[in-house]
Amino acid sequence: MTQSIVIQVGQCGNQIGCRFWDLCLREHACYSKKGIYDDAISSFFRNTDARSDEAYDLPSTVQKIKNLKARAILVDMEEGVVNELVQGYLGDIFDHKQLITDVSGSGNNWAVGHKEYGSRYQEEILDQVRKAAEACDCLQCFFILHSMGGGTGSGLGTAILSLLQDNFPEVYRFVTAVYPSTDDDVITSPYNSVLAMKELTENADCVLPINNESLMNICNKIHQAQPGKIKKESTIASGVGSVGGNKKNEKPFDHMNNIVANMILNMTSLSRFEGTLNVDLNEIAMNLVPFPRLHYLVSSVAPLF
């Protein structure tokens, strides 16, 4: 079974990642009632020894889930979102050595994220990526989550993508990029998006563009729907902070991030679970990308509720 590493960059990327890991655990809990560490959960999680501070992987002979650690690297040039994530209810699944943060932020400037922080943290990021890759038996894919309008997401996110292209050319690079809406209040977001798109075109294998405005429209339609029609297990109603979920723990944009997180889970489910329709991630890139630079895939999820 293959493994994937998720790299969350910037505020948007880490907020989507928060929903992704929550839904990933819920999905496996429904699939495996006995708590077995199987191929499905090993794609995104390591089974480690909780008695050690170093989070050593347990041998493959250990079938029971002991202490899960996400195959994730969290990057943000502001500490707020990452600190909130590791101090929350999902904090135990992250290896705190895989967190890379700063305090000043990128000021919504692509050049600051790409050139300044990209150069400053290049070695540290590569070191953490190598450690995460060494913990995989068969690394197949990197998932990079970031926005296109912010400075850290668009700038540092594409700088990391370039590093992966240079150092791991044989590993597929799937990018989930959230594009800003037309009424975005960040004046530099159009420039950040254009500069980041050049990097995505040159260095990514597949890009899954997410329109922020479309997510808002979908959520508004769901909110306007009759409550009785919304199923508890629907895409937008799954998880803690969602329609029909636990309002006490709801965070801003959780209902929108649920849709993106479910899209990634659904796309990888055919390679993680056994079945007659097994599709590997390399087949997605092979069958849907006609030319190397034409790799922007329009994604959709149905039914929503």
Tell me what pLDDT residue 274 has. 78
CA distance 168 to 170: 6
Tell me what pLDDT residue 61 has. 61
Task: Give per-residue pLDDT as tens, 59-107.
Answer: 666 678 888 999 999 999 998 899 999 998 899 999 888 999 998 889 9
Mean pLDDT taken over the chain? 86
Range of the domain at 220: 3-44+70-288
CA distance 77 to 73: 13
Q: Exposure pattern of 98-124 as b/e (b: 16+ CB <10 Å)?
A: bbbebeebbebbbbbbbebbbeebeee
Tell me what pLDDT residue 65 has. 83
Residue 304 in any domain: the answer is no
Dihedral angle of Cα 110, 284, 234, 14, to the nearest 10 degrees = -30
User: 305 pLDDT band (50/70/90 cuts)?
Assistant: low
Residue 81 in any domain: the answer is yes
Residue 8 in any domain: the answer is yes
Task: Give per-residue pLDDT as tens, 240-249.
Answer: 544 444 555 5
CATH assignment at residue 100:
3.40.50.1440
Q: What is the mean pLDDT of residues 123-144?
A: 94
Structure tokens at 158: 């594409």
Tell me what pLDDT residue 242 has. 44
Distances (CA, A) of 5 to 43, 230, 239, 290: 8, 33, 22, 25
Residue 271 in any domain: the answer is yes
Number of domains the chain contains: 1
**Strand 172-179 relative to strand 206-211, pairing:** parallel
Residue 238 in any domain: the answer is yes
pTM value is 0.91
Residue 284 in any domain: the answer is yes
Residue 78 in any domain: the answer is yes
Report the percent of the chain where pLDDT is more than 70: 87
pLDDT: which is higher, 277 or 16:
16
Residue 264 in any domain: the answer is yes
